[in-house]
Structure 1
Amino acid sequence: LSVSCYGAESEDIKCCNTCEDVREAYRRRGWAFKNPDTIEQCRREGFSQKMQEQKNEGCQVYGFLEVNKVAGNFHFAPGKSFQQSHVHVHDLQSFGLDNINMTHYIQHLSFGEDYPGIVNPLDHTNVTAPQASMMFQYFVKVVPTVYMKVDGEVLRTNQFSVTRHEKVASGLLGDQGGWTHRFAHLPLGTRHPEEN
């Protein structure tokens, strides 16, 4: 029994048994997956209902990232990520662009170990998105820092400064709702001696 991929069949995807199979076939073709209610597999699996049930959910993210001392970024966005035209994108169609609320709270962000008196400028940052489908970009400049304790112990860590920009995301490739931290390591450093 061959199940339709709704025109998105290819050499390696000849049939689509599940909603996820259809979504993958569409993704590989570079097609937008706009209306899952027109796809039999998605109707059968209750795809739209599942998305509707999750629309007011949020998430809590915590952990550690190890980054090289080169410019880079990390970001948070809803949806499933994939590569399209050599660009990292997220499939947000199932949420509807008018339903994406990127309000966020950053409890703590640092680039290395903290030392007494360090100020991490994004700690306890609470941002309410003024409207749906907002895109927040944090531009972070990381400064290598050496903290010298009175007992001679040396802590090699980092400080940073940050600038935030926000706009309504157009939904076009590379311009989607979410929040991104773009960071660059500066080629200078600071030394901080511990005070008695």
Structure 2
Amino acid sequence: MAALMHKLRTLDAYPKINEDFYRRTTSGGVITLASSIVMFLLFFSELRLYLHPVTETKLVVDTSRGETLRINFDITFPALACSIISLDAMDISGAEHLDVKHDIFKKRLDSHGNVIEARQDGIGSPKIEKPLQRHGGRLEHNETYCGSCYGAEAGDDDCCNSCEEVREAYRKKGWALSNVDLIDQCKREGFLQRVKDEEGEGCNIYGFLEVNRVAGNFHFAPGKSIRQSNILLHDLLAFQGDNFNISHKINKLSFGDYFPGVVNPLNGVQWTQETPSGMYQYFIKVVPTVYTDTRGHTIQSNQFSVTEHFKNQEIGHLQSLPGVFFYYDLSPIKVTVLEEHISFLHFLTNVCAIVGGVFTVSGILDAFVYHGQRAIKKKMELGKFS
């Protein structure tokens, strides 16, 4: 009978596993709980990577041409009045934009930084009745006004009907307007009085420039730019000041549109002048950047790096004009930033790898602990541990 039972057992197609494989232990429960926690943490980490796009960055040669560059700025000058600050821009192609007013806004600030008045630059000049005509008499009834340009007329029919137009005519001639009080338009509009009234005030100037996509510079400086013998000067005689405090804070400076992840290193930068006067210079390397999001929407923009330098004003040195100068150059290398989601198949493969890996490692650890405990128990039973 026993031999028959033995032969039947040899024919069993469903051999039973060793009892060690289904025995439950406390150490096994602890390892299972710990591995489950690790598995869930890794799963949620992988899920977060799947739900959030990954960024791929490449460097390519910039072959674009014939484009413009937009410069956005917001700068505060706590010790320079709005009436004396002018903005100029020029580039190596020869383009010049002197005393830019289009798309430029100014806010007058008191000594505590509070806004006194906000207006677009070039808007708000007073209109005075009966100004002095070019021929010398006062404006009569039904007579068209044509003010004198005080020798700066480019032609016989030129008229300067405001202080700003007289200053512009002088600038085009390369002349300095030394005595503004002698100019009828400036006297009537109270130009010097306005400058005097704004003494001690600050100015927040903001807006944007559209310039050629070539190396160039733009700067904020007191006075109006004039060109003499191919050298750019600033007419400071009208303001009767020797020292100008060009302390400033750059609230925002960017080249092109915003895109996610962009870092503009000059945002929030503040500099305080310690010396009587001078020129503060920023040397900027603009790097063209193309950003493409997960929906395929492309943003053509730029990033930049910057170095700084302060130059003390030297009496009689034409290059040491007081002001804040931004010199920019464009990199020949373009950065392409591509955002994309991980595919679901890739996500599923990673999840399977996480489950399989944690299960395998926890199994090895559980076997090591279990067999170690059994070996110690057997030795204790044999009396080897006493």
TM-score range, shorter chain: 0.7 to 0.9
State the structure with bigger RCO (CA 8 A, min sep 6), 1 or 2.
2
Q: Tell me if structure 1 keeps the 8 A contact 2:246–2:273.
A: yes
Is 1:159 aligned to 2:303, yes or no? yes
Q: Tell me if structure 1 keeps the 8 A contact 2:287–2:330.
A: yes
Letter in 2 for 1:185: L
Alignment partner, residue 201 of structure 2: 57
Over 3 Å counting, the alpha-carbon distance change for 1:11 and 1:163 in structure 2 is closer
Over 3 Å counting, the alpha-carbon distance change for 1:97 and 1:164 in structure 2 is farther
Is 1:99 aligned to 2:259, yes or no? no
Is 1:149 aligned to 2:293, yes or no? yes
Alignment partner, residue 174 of structure 1: 319
CA RMSD of aligned residues (A): 3.7
Over 3 Å counting, the alpha-carbon distance change for 1:192 and 1:89 in structure 2 is same
By percentage of residues, which structure has more helix? 2
Alignment partner, residue 15 of structure 1: none
Is 1:184 aligned to 2:350, yes or no? no
- Alignment match of 2:282 (pick from 119, 123, 138): 138
Unaligned runs of 5+ in 2: 1-134, 137-149, 155-162, 342-386
Is 1:193 aligned to 2:338, yes or no? yes
The alpha-carbon deviation at position 132 of structure 1 amounts to: 2.5
Unaligned runs of 5+ in 1: 3-7, 13-18
- Alignment match of 2:262 (pick from 118, 136, 143): 118
What is the TM-score of this pair, normalised by structure 2?
Answer: 0.41
Q: Tell me if structure 1 keeps the 8 A contact 2:250–2:268.
A: yes
CA distance in 2, matches of 1:25, 1:148: 49
CA distance in 2, matches of 1:71, 1:136: 19
The alpha-carbon deviation at position 54 of structure 1 amounts to: 3.0
The alpha-carbon deviation at position 194 of structure 1 amounts to: 2.6
CA distance in 2, matches of 1:166, 1:119: 24
The number of equivalent residue pairs is 188
Over 3 Å counting, the alpha-carbon distance change for 1:36 and 1:113 in structure 2 is closer
Letter in 2 for 1:105: K
CA distance in 2, matches of 1:29, 1:125: 35
Alignment partner, residue 219 of structure 2: 75
